[in-house]
Amino acid sequence: MADSSFDIVSKIDRQEAENALNQARKEVEQRYDFKGTDASIGWSGEAVLIKANSEERAKAVLDVFQSKLIKRGISLKSLDTGEPQASGKEYRITSTLKEGISSEDAKKISKLIRDEGPKTVKSQIQGDELRVTSKSRDDLQELQRMLKAADLDVDLQFVNYR
C-alpha cells in the first residue's frame, strides 16, 4: 500500500484580509468615539499602517481590525503587530500578515512530530511548508489533532491530503 501524506502550511486568504481591513476602515470612519482623532487604517505596501492622535486610539483601531480578522476566519497568530510609535503629533502601529512557516518554526514542528507524534509518521521541510507521510491514515489524522492542540506561534493549515 502506498504512503499517505499531507502538507502543513501557513497561508492567509488575501481577499479576506482585504475585506477585514476595509470593514475596519469603515467602522473607524463611522464610530462616534473616533471622531476628531484622525484615526485611520490602511495598507502601506505589504504592511497594515494604523494612525491616530493618541496611543489609546491607535490600540483601539488595532482592536477593531483584529475583531474583523477573527470574523473573517483569519487567525491572530498570523498578525505580527509592532508597538505604537510616536511620529510627530500622531501614533503609528505597523502590522504585517505572516505567511509561510519560518525555518525555526518548521524545525520546532518537525521535532514535535518526532518526539510526540506516532512513530510511523515522517516529516520533511520543503521551503516554507512541511510534508508529512505515513503508511497509516489514522496516524496522520491523530497527528493533525495533536498539532491543532499544540500551542504553536504559527497558524497551521493541512492541505493536499492524499
Per-residue pLDDT of the chain (162 residues), as tens digits, is 568 899 999 999 999 999 999 999 999 999 998 888 889 999 998 899 999 999 999 999 999 999 999 999 999 999 999 899 998 889 999 999 988 898 899 999 999 999 988 888 999 999 888 999 999 899 999 999 999 888 888 888 899 888
d(CA 10, CA 12): 7
Confirm if 48 and 68 have CB atoms less than 8 A apart.
Answer: no
Q: Where are the alpha helices (DSSP H) in 6-92?
A: 14-30, 55-71
Same fold, 4-11+101-159 and 14-97: yes
Q: Does domain 4-11+101-159 have CATH number 3.30.70.860?
A: yes
Measured over the CA atoms of residue 11, residue 15, residue 21 and residue 27, the dihedral's sign is negative
Extents of the domains making up the chain? 4-11+101-159, 14-97
d(CA 129, CA 110): 11
Q: Which CATH number fits domain 14-97: 3.30.70.990, 3.10.150.10, 3.40.50.2000, 1.10.287.3510?
A: 3.30.70.990
d(CA 34, CA 101): 36
| Cell 509592532 sits on residue | 82
